[in-house]
């Protein structure tokens, strides 16, 4: 992807009604489960971002007929649990860790060998957290040096169920094991030390597959079938988070975000912002398919620094770059601990956010598992996003309270999760120009 930079004028307010793109986690899973289901799955609201499209292309390469996407509509002609075919070459997951980790579970159970690869960023991310527990089920996965991609999955070995206690809370690891468990003999149970997003469990049930659920634990028995269904993808709370923060910090803002997924395993960003004093109200709450949604109204409010409860960290892990910008505009100090996971995302999000905040003049001190940020006024300047979509969007919103323009470099990867971000943000009132 070529160099794209954002130039953002300081100040402004956010107002009106916006619909952010579809939920990335739900979009990925709709393709994966629809592909191995029997019959047709109709998806609406599908996120046409590069990560979700990478998942789609992987299944097309394994012989699954998929129509679309066209204006968020996708039709998956499922091939059944045993209908996938060996691909002609390596499967490219692009920038998507979700694709690679979930596919590693699903592909471990196939009778053919596969190789999963991706871009330079993805190939630097740790994969032992999925390959090791999958190997306990009988999977044969070889990684590159340091447990990193590409992953070579031998397949054909036959899997058996395990009872696994995850050392670190991770929805991707949990999902990989449950997907492998669909094919394994016996029961596969996964216990988590803290709640993580439960989209896989909800969607399996929507496809008619029995999932036993207990607090902090989920189990599946192998040998069942999935039936094609209709999936309506809610708007992505992770994408909405940038606008929740922007409207909270920009004086005079009053913004409604429509039909946003408010899954209780994902809504930590709303709880943390409310603890900081944000004015966020939910209306029109309803269930769309297997997922709860609501319209979110956010009005500007004075924020205060807090010690972020560690129990909320797994429920907001992808939203912390945006929350750091909220902290930079809060009165007093915000302290985050227990978030080591942020160091192995698309970038080291603790280090990259700290560097950017310091470059603007914010008092920010990174720690091994978090950060300390003291709010106050800050200037403008140049920010390197390190190709990380969430870094780029977070610093774009920071301009709403900056004293001078902000330029964010290396923004092409925003398209992985939020195609059309620059246009939507500008329409809501952010003074943003995207320049190639």
**CB 414, CB 423: distance < 8 Å:** no
Closest CA to 107 of 68, 133, 134: 134
* From 318, 355, 369, 410, the catalytic residue: 318
DSSP per-residue codes, 353-421 = HHHHHHHHT-EEEEETTEEEEE------EEEE-TT-HHHHHHHHHHGGG-SS-EEEE--GGGGGT-TTH
**If residue 434 lies in a helix (H) or strand (E), which one and from where to where?**
strand 432-435
Backbone dihedral region for residue 115 (phi beyond 0: left; psi -120 to 50: alpha; all else: beta): beta
Q: How far is CA 339 from CA 8, 24, 153, 204, 243, in A?
A: 29, 22, 30, 29, 23
Closest CA to 179 of 36, 26, 22, 345: 36
Q: Three-state DSSP class for 230?
A: strand
Two tokens, residue 124 = 């630097």
Q: How far is CA 232 from CA 65, 203, 206, 248, in A?
A: 20, 11, 11, 29
Q: How far is CA 348 from CA 106, 170, 344, 373, in A?
A: 28, 17, 6, 17
Backbone dihedral region for residue 155 (phi beyond 0: left; psi -120 to 50: alpha; all else: beta): left
| 268 burial via Cβ count (<10 Å: 0-12, 13-18, 19+) | buried
The reply to whether 318 belongs to the active site is: yes
Residues classed as catalytic: 318
């Amino acid at each position: 992807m070529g160099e794209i930079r954002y130039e953002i004028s300081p100040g402004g307010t956010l107002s009106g009604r916006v619909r952010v793109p579809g939920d990335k986690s739900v979009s990925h899973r709709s393709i994966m489960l629809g592909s191995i289901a029997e019959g047709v799955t109709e998806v609406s609201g599908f996120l046409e971002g590069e990560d979700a499209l990478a998942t789609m292309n992987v299944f097309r390469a394994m012989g699954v007929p998929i129509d679309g996407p066209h204006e968020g509509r996708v039709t998956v002609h499922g091939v059944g649990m045993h209908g996938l075919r060996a691909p002609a070459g390596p499967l490219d997951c692009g920038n998507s860790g979700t694709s690679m980790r979930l596919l590693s579970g699903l592909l471990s159970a196939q009778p053919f060998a596969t190789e999963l690869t991706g871009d330079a960023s993805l190939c630097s991310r740790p994969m032992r957290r999925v390959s090791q527990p999958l190997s306990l089920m009988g999977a044969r996965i070889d990684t590159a040096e340091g447990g990193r991609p590409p992953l070579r999955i031998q397949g054909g070995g036959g899997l058996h169920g395990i009872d696994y206690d995850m050392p670190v809370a991770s929805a991707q690891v949990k999902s990989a094991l449950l997907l492998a468990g669909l094919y394994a003999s016996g029961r596969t149970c996964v216990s988590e030390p803290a709640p993580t997003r439960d989209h896989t469990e909800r969607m399996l049930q929507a496809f008619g597959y029995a999932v036993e659920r207990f607090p902090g634990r989920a189990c599946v028995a192998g040998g069942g079938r999935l039936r094609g269904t209709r999936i309506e993808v809610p708007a992505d709370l992770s994408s909405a988070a940038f606008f929740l923060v922007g409207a909270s910090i920009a004086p005079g803002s009053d913004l409604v975000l429509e039909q946003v997924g408010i899954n209780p395993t994902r809504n930590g960003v709303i709880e943390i912002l409310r603890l900081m004093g944000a004015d966020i109200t939910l209306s029109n709450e309803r269930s769309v398919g297997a997922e709860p949604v609501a319209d979110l109204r956010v009005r500007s409010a004075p924020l205060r620094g807090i010690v972020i409860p560690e129990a909320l960290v797994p429920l907001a892990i992808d939203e912390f770059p945006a929350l750091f910008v909220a902290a930079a505009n809060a009165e007093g100090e915000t302290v985050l601990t227990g978030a080591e996971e942020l160091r192995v995302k698309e970038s080291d999000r603790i280090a990259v956010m700290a560097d950017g905040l310091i470059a603007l003049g914010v008092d920010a001190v990174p720690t091994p598992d978090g950060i300390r940020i003291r709010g106050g006024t800050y200037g403008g300047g140049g920010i390197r996003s390190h190709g990380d979509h969430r870094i780029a969007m977070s610093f774009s919103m920071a301009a709403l309270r900056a004293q001078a323009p902000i330029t964010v470099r290396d923004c092409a990867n925003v398209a992985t999760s939020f195609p059309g971000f620059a246009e939507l943000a500008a329409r809501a009132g952010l003074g943003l120009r995207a320049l190639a």
